[in-house]
Chains A and B, each alone.
Chain A
Amino acid sequence: MDREQILAKLRERIVLFAASHLSRDAAEDLAQEVLLLLHEKYAHLERVEDLLPLSLQIVRFKIMSQRRKSVRRGEYTQVSITDIQLPDLDDNPAEYVERKQMLEQLAKAMSGLGERCRELMRLKLEGKAFPEIQKIMGVAAINTIYTWDHRCRKNLLEAMGGSWEPPKR
């Protein structure tokens, strides 16, 4: 799959995802902004393993930016495309607070996990890949590790209240 095909697929996915958070037109504009950014600033990236995570990160920043702006201006409907700014990847105070809250909740939720999940999470945070975790934990099949991780992630998400991010005010 070449770059153009990947970007076309990405646009389709971004529009559908953003439409669940924003209006349809805003979602279309948001996807266009992301592709524009990928085209202008990240033209050297061609693989899906690079383009997709980057596009997801841009989408998240833009959605957060739009929410803040809507709250600040009292706008709960459409956002003019002229107001959508390019993402600033540096931390701002609001994001810092959100990150801090998220980190505290995550730490609390992780400490309440079972022993196996805690061990699994520890190995993942230490940068171990699933095959390495499989060897460390002495499990015969890699699928067992996948299943354990899936359940642990589900438990962690439930402990976080169903979302990684703190509830928006």
Chain B
Amino acid sequence: MSPEDIKKLLGGYATGTLTAEERQALFAAALEDQELFDALAREQSLRDLLRDPAARAELLSALDTPASRTGGFWQWLRRPAVAGLAMAGVAAIAVVAVWQGTRVAPMKLAEPVIVADLKRPEPVPALSSAPPTAPARQPEASTRTKAGDAPAAAMTDKKTTLAIAPPPAPAAIQALNERRDATDVAAPAMAPPPPHPAPAAVPALTARKAEAESTAAAQSAGAMSVAVPENLPLDARALFYLNQLAPGANAFVEPSGGGGAAPPPARPAAPRKDAAPQTAKAVSGFAAPMSATAPRLGVRVSILRGQSEVDLTTVLDPGETVRLKLTPNADGFLYVVEGSRIVASGAVGRLKPFETPELRFEGSGQKQLYVLLSRRPRTVAPLSLGSLASGDLVQTSPDQERATYVVSGARGAGAQQVVVPVTLTYR
């Protein structure tokens, strides 16, 4: 036995369980090795104890009792591998904690929901024939609550309601002032008017009235209270997104009233004697641009060179493989045709990008493709698609975007499909 192995016999010395050979080897080595002799001498007290049968019995009974969970756990925890794993785990947690602490969480703003806000005009004290009394105002208040809060109540409470109202136009304020003067003159038999409010409050009241009237007019037209100048030229991008603001722009079936997603029918504005001319004027002012911007199908087209997006006017390298990124402004079905074959097709969602498979064309020059956006699925004859491409398209390539917006022209407003020619230019 090697000296190291002989030292392992020490455990048998105290219990007196060494064999004759082991004893001889151990003691012979101890005579020559002072360290081993000292170790044996230190074992002597244990040996003396274990020579007592009663002590042995007591220790055996202690061994028979199950090890305490705590003691076993600490023994297990003291193993080097376990301690190393624990340290690695603590270090990993610390790294993650530091990383999370130093990372700037991206701000995610809630997307505002644009809804129409119906505001009934409040009576102007200067226009009323008698001083307003509390009972007279009560029904109006309850009506406003029902009419004005009902659409908002239909919305989920979680969404933010954002009311967009045009600022009171100076012309409207002027018209109201004139009309108020005329009313005062035309009612001589009426009771004496109440005292005018303080001068500073008059402009505010007239402004609120103008705002209420214009809002009611917009509501009667079934449109948003978005101020669109009558003669404003709209480019393709504006038309592309304007369709999203008009209720029912994405619906090709009239709402039956049962669908939760269908917009509520426009509530006719309550006729008012004194507001009739202004309402008609406001309606005519809004109806014209809104009808001109009736739902028009359109597609936002761009080229994907790898992961980067470029405009359609980009000159491509010969044999370069690209993809088309197509974003429709309405739910429907997209078909991408090149020559006699359909290179891509599928159902698309409003403002959800649709990417074609990789397109590869040999040679140089221009390659003509056609993109058909249809509200309904249809059978496409690739060769005849070019003939369906109408010249009545509005196309815009905004400077701030690397894409081209193509929208139906005025004659195509309300159409169920649009065919957009896409030309790829190869060097």
Contact = CB atoms under 8 A, between A and B. Distances in A.
Interface of A: 1, 6, 9-10, 13, 16-17, 20, 48-49, 52-53, 56-57, 59-60, 99, 102-103, 106-108, 110-115, 118, 121-122, 124-131, 143, 146-147, 149-150, 152-153, 155, 163-165
A99 B49 contact: yes
Given A13-B37, A103-B58, A146-B9, A111 B31 contact: no
Given A52-B27, A129-B18, A131-B19, A102 B45 contact: yes
Contact of B41 (A9, A56, A110, A121): A56
Contacts of A129: 12, 17-19, 22
Contact of B48 (A60, A111, A114, A125): A60
Interface residues of B, number: 53
Interface centre among B37, B62, B71 (most CB of A within 10 A): B62
B386 to A, nearest CB: 84
Interface in B99-124: none
Given A49-B23, A99-B55, A129-B18, A56 B44 contact: yes
Given A125-B50, A129-B17, A164-B43, A106 B59 contact: yes
B34 A16 contact: yes
Interface string B9-36: 1111101111110111001101110100
9 contacts: A1-B31, A48-B28, A113-B67, A129-B22, A130-B18, A149-B11, A152-B11, A163-B42, A164-B49
B31 A10 contact: yes
Contacts of B16: 127
Interface of B: 5, 7-13, 15-20, 22-24, 27-28, 30-32, 34, 37-38, 40-50, 52, 55-56, 58-60, 62-65, 67-68, 71-72, 74-76
A162 B75 CA distance: 16
Given A52-B31, A121-B63, A130-B12, A112 B45 contact: no
B27 A48 contact: yes
Contact of B60 (A6, A53, A103, A126): A126
What are the 10 tightest A-B residue pairs by CB atom distance, in nearest-first order? A107-B62, A112-B71, A146-B8, A149-B11, A9-B31, A124-B15, A13-B37, A153-B11, A150-B8, A164-B46
Contacts of B76: 114
B43 to A, nearest CB: 7
A158 B8 CA distance: 16
Contacts of B10: 150, 153
A47 B30 CA distance: 14
Given A17-B37, A125-B56, 10 more contacts: A9-B32, A10-B31, A60-B45, A102-B45, A106-B59, A114-B72, A124-B15, A125-B60, A146-B5, A150-B8
B59 A130 contact: no
B41 A112 contact: no
A60 B41 contact: yes
Given A57-B48, A103-B55, A150-B11, A20 B24 contact: no
A134 to B, nearest CB: 11
Given A112-B67, A118-B67, A165 B8 contact: no
Contacts of A153: 10-11
Given A17-B37, A111-B65, A48 B19 contact: no
Contact of A111 (B5, B37, B68): B68
Contact of A48 (B9, B24, B67): B24
